[in-house]
Amino acid sequence: MKISMDKHMNIYGISQGAQRELVDKLCFGKCGKINVGAIKFCDAWFMPCSEDKCEYEEKTLNVETVVDGKNLIMRKLKTS
């Protein structure tokens, strides 16, 4: 499947393991826009987020994988 670079076609995955406390504090607590659900990628679980602009984002990594017709991009949240 062809990877689209259209920003409306992206889904962001945030690690449920390594960043669980930040997801609870920032995504659920402050932002409130994270999607309830899970994405399994490379034997790890990620919380899905559809927001292209995230004030808590440190960096992203395009993993060139499609999930439900959207580009999967890994998002790392700022730790401070």
Residue 42 included in any domain: yes
Residue 34 included in any domain: yes
Instruction: Kindly report, residue by residue over 10-52, the tens digit of the pLDDT.
Output: 999 999 999 999 999 999 999 999 998 999 999 999 999 999 9
**Whole-structure pTM value:** 0.84
Count of structural domains within the chain: 1
**Residue 80 pLDDT:** 73
Q: How far apart are the first and last CA of the chain?
A: 37
Domain residue limits at 17: 7-77
Residue 32 included in any domain: yes
Residue 36 included in any domain: yes
Residue 60 included in any domain: yes
Residue 1 included in any domain: no
Residue 2 included in any domain: no
Residue 8's pLDDT band (boundaries 50, 70, 90)?
low
Sheet holding 44-49, edge to edge: 39-41, 44-49, 10-15, 70-77, 57-67
Q: Name the more confident of 28 and 2.
A: 28
